[in-house]
Amino acid sequence: MARRTFSIGGVHPHDSKISRACAIEVLPTPPVVYLSVAQHIGAPAVPVVKPGDKVKVGQVIAEPGGFVSAFIHSSVSGTVKSVGPRKDLAGNSQTHIEIAVEGDEWLEGIDTSDTLITDIPEDNKAILDKIRLGGIVGLGGATFPTHVKLSPPPGMKCERLIINGCECEPYLTSDFRTLLEKGEQVVIGAAILKQVLGGVPCTIAIEENKPEAIAHIREVIASLEKVSPKFAGIEVLSLKKRYPQGGEKQLIDAVMHRQVASGALPISVGAVVQNVATALAVYDAVQKGKPIIDNSVTVTGECFPHQANLLVRVGTPLRYILDYLGGIPEEAAKVISGGPMMGRAVANLDAATLKGTGALLLLTEAQTRRRPETNCIRCGKCADACPMGLEPFLLQKLSRLGDVEALEENAAQDCIECGCCLYSCPAGIPLLDIIRLGKGAALSAIRARNVKK
């Protein structure tokens, strides 16, 4: 059988998963954490604590600022030192809650034991509440509040739940380690999500470069199926290795052979996609009463002497993590939060991790160097690589010209910013950098038109 993957474009960067053998290790709690109120897409959360307040692990310290928003919980126990602006990892100012750590006292009702709970509660409304109150957001990168994704708009029906275990970005291994070490929890989390969505079939999609994870999850499903019929209808699908397979639209195309239309939501083709780490967070919230207070972070890079997958309390300063592993080596020139294709370059090492921080990648100047820009030779490699079927060479020209109408006509707004075009350009043209500007202009034009109607 031909191995499945998405139908248009994509690239094959070397997967460089050099931290794949490193088991998830618990990072000691830092002396101080800084919790941002903007850890999700949507409205920032509103702080409900003030300096001097004593907080416990798992206690709510900020409440949702709107429907599309999420709770923020204290990741440590201690005293709130300040609530105010602080620079995030890009160097932009954002409200943070600073907590000085004292001991490790957890809020009552949180089950901190390792006991696996396989009984899934029947009441879906109660489950959704727990997911919302647990501050669960999509941990695959977009940090979209999970409870919103689980409430399809009227008239739309979910037909399949896809658990995204592709981890198609090079270097990243935290989802892989989670699948290996917490496979049961992930599968139970998937079963909970499946039940909330009306018992739809569920596919756990994993790329073929993680055969251990594929085999392990298949075993886990087989043994859980014997425990309860609720675990029936969950399958593992091995996908061909190809970037950006973990992109939501690409993954739905690969698994269901359906393409989400431009501007539409995945639910319009009957799909709901949740990341592996999100499924684990759902298990923690629903079965153990534990909100998101920590997450797995891959810390890696060839220039870095210690590869690691760490369980990190949310709000841990980046410098603390890197110092724990021996500090930043001299050769490292760039620290990236996330993967090398879509991650963000860190401008401020004193910034703290967010719920969605999945990796810290250190690259040398040589690894990340860009070629000087030369003439486009019309080789078409960018168009071949674009997973949305766009023409990056054309879009960058239109962006430079500022031709918003033509940008919209040529679907600049469909760009998912995966970086395949810039990655593959032999002439060193900063395609995506320029297209981002054009995409922004096209999106504003569309929004302005929709408001007028």
Q: Which residues would be at the binding site for other proteins (CB under 8 A)?
A: 8, 11, 13, 90-91, 170, 249, 253, 259-262, 264, 328-336, 340-347, 349, 361, 363, 365, 367-371, 374-381, 383, 386-391, 411, 414, 417-420, 422-424, 426-428, 432-433, 436
Q: How many angstroms separate the CA atoms of 401 and 393, rounded?
A: 13
Q: Which is nearer to other proteins, 353 or 424 (CB)?
A: 424
Strands (E), 60-146: 60-63, 72-73, 78-87, 93-101
Of residues 14, 2, 25, 21, the one with CA closest to residue 325: 25
Give min distance, CB of 18 to other proteins, in A. 14
Of residues 415, 405, 410, the one with CA closest to residue 446: 405
Give min distance, CB of 79 to other proteins, in A. 32
Give min distance, CB of 243 to other proteins, in A. 10
Q: Which is nearer to other proteins, 375 or 450 (CB)?
A: 375
3-class secondary-structure state, position 206: strand
Give min distance, CB of 347 to other proteins, in A. 5
Q: Which residue is it, tokens 């886990």?
A: 220
Give min distance, CB of 218 to other proteins, in A. 30
3-class secondary-structure state, position 185: helix
Q: Which is nearer to other proteins, 102 or 433 (CB)?
A: 433
Give min distance, CB of 367 to other proteins, in A. 7
Give min distance, CB of 200 to other proteins, in A. 21
**What would the two tokens of residue 65 be?**
């600022």
Q: Which is nearer to other proteins, 294 or 408 (CB)?
A: 408
Ordered DSSP codes for 257-278: ---PPTT--GGGGTEEEEEHHH
Q: Which is nearer to other proteins, 82 or 367 (CB)?
A: 367
Q: Which is nearer to other proteins, 228 or 374 (CB)?
A: 374
Q: 86 forms bridges with which residues in the sheet?
A: 94
Angle between helices 276-288 and 183-196 (to 10 degrees): 80
Q: 10 Å Cβ neighbour count for 163?
A: 29
Amino acid at site 126? A
Q: Which is nearer to other proteins, 79 or 259 (CB)?
A: 259
